[in-house]
Structure 1
Amino acid sequence: MTDTSRDLVLERVLDAPRANVWRCWTEPELMKDWFCPKPWRVTEARLDLRPGGECFNIMEGPEGERVENPGVFLAVEPGERLVFTDAFLPGWRPTGEPFMVGEIRLADADGGRTRYHARAMHWSEETRARHEAMGFHEGWGIAADQLEALARTL
């Protein structure tokens, strides 16, 4: 039996085609437009879409805050699933302080929409609680709204 007690999950149906949602997750220039809640912004994004490939972005806040998010992809199933983690850097170098494994699953929904499932799997109850306190539900929800709005325009 799978223990999901350290997971945080966001599920929605997005009013945009799955191919467009996939593009928003896999094209760095598009990712910059939606990935973090405004007024925060992504100023740099690098994506090497293969297991072990780099998954990196820099988020900057309105008061000069800067958060670098290095990691790698663990699985890439085009159009359907991305799994990434901050536990490793490219070349499978351990980062020393892993926070989570992220999984994005996409599926077709009625009317040309997309069933969107985002899951953050944490190494411990403490990191799950910390992520939740940081505003996981609100922040990932706002980002999903921004993702949907951008994907509708493509």
Structure 2
Amino acid sequence: MTVTTVKKDPETRTLTISAQFDAPVARVWQVWDDPRQLERWWGPPTHPATVLDHDLTPGGSVTYLMTGPEGDKHRGWWRVISVDAPHRLEFEDGFADDAGNPHSTLPTTTCRVTLHEQAGGGTRMEIESTFPSLQAMRELTEMGMEEGITAAVGQIDQLLAPHGR
């Protein structure tokens, strides 16, 4: 599995996932930048994603739909805050209702993705999610956020393999 550490810090209200890949930064960036690649890993294996809209520019948005094993649908959205391709992406992440509108009762997070070049041409990726409150952190982790993102990131190695492109 690609995930090397998972760190929850209630003091800073953050959940940070670190992963290591045997691919250059520019290649790892593509799994975020290309909507067809993003949908191959963004949802956990049991809830694959379909990316509906994908605009990775500041002020842009990404909308997606995850489909569960029983056919249940879960919508989500990103509001892109900043992009420094191929090293950094920051976005607000939230759930959406059936019409695709931001869900009014579920909390959002701010996600910061950083890609760091490693010796030998590899990449270390960190995804840091900041919660608006401790209650929001509890609520989203109880919904399985930690397990879901860890399983999702665990699918990237297969996508980065030469046959996975």
TM range, smaller chain: 0.7 to 0.9
- Quote the RMSD (CA, aligned, Å): 2.3
TM-score normalised to structure 2 length: 0.80
Matched residues in 1 for 2:115 and 2:122: separation? 10
Aligned to 2:5: none
How far 1:38 moved relative to its partner? Answer: 1.0
How far 1:95 moved relative to its partner? Answer: 6.5
Matched residues in 1 for 2:46 and 2:78: separation? 24
Q: Which sections of structure 1, spanning at least 5 residues, go unmatched?
A: none
> Does the C-alpha gap of structure 1 residues 121 and 11 become closer, same or farther in structure 2, counting only changes over 3 Å?
same
Aligned to 1:118: 127
- The answer to which of 95-104 and 127-136 deviates more is 95-104
* Aligned residues with identical type, % of pairs: 29
Does the residue aligned with 1:119 lie in a helix, a strand or coil? strand
Partner amino acid for 2:26? A
Aligned to 2:4: none
Q: Which sections of structure 2, spanning at least 5 residues, go unmatched?
A: 1-9
Does the residue aligned with 2:56 lie in a helix, a strand or coil? coil
Partner amino acid for 1:21? V
Partner amino acid for 1:104? V
Matched, 1:24 2:31: yes
How far 1:70 moved relative to its partner? Answer: 2.0
> Does the C-alpha gap of structure 1 residues 28 and 4 become closer, same or farther in structure 2, counting only changes over 3 Å?
farther
TM-score normalised to structure 1 length: 0.85
Matched, 1:50 2:70: no
Matched, 1:80 2:87: yes
Partner amino acid for 2:123? T
Q: Deviations over 1:86-124 (max 9, x none)?
A: 47x9xxx98745411111110111221111100111111
Preserved CA contact (<8 Å) 1:21 1:148: no
- The answer to which of 93-102 and 29-38 deviates more is 93-102
Does the residue aligned with 1:130 lie in a helix, a strand or coil? helix
Matched residues in 1 for 2:55 and 2:24: separation? 23
Matched residues in 2 for 1:148 and 1:68: separation? 25
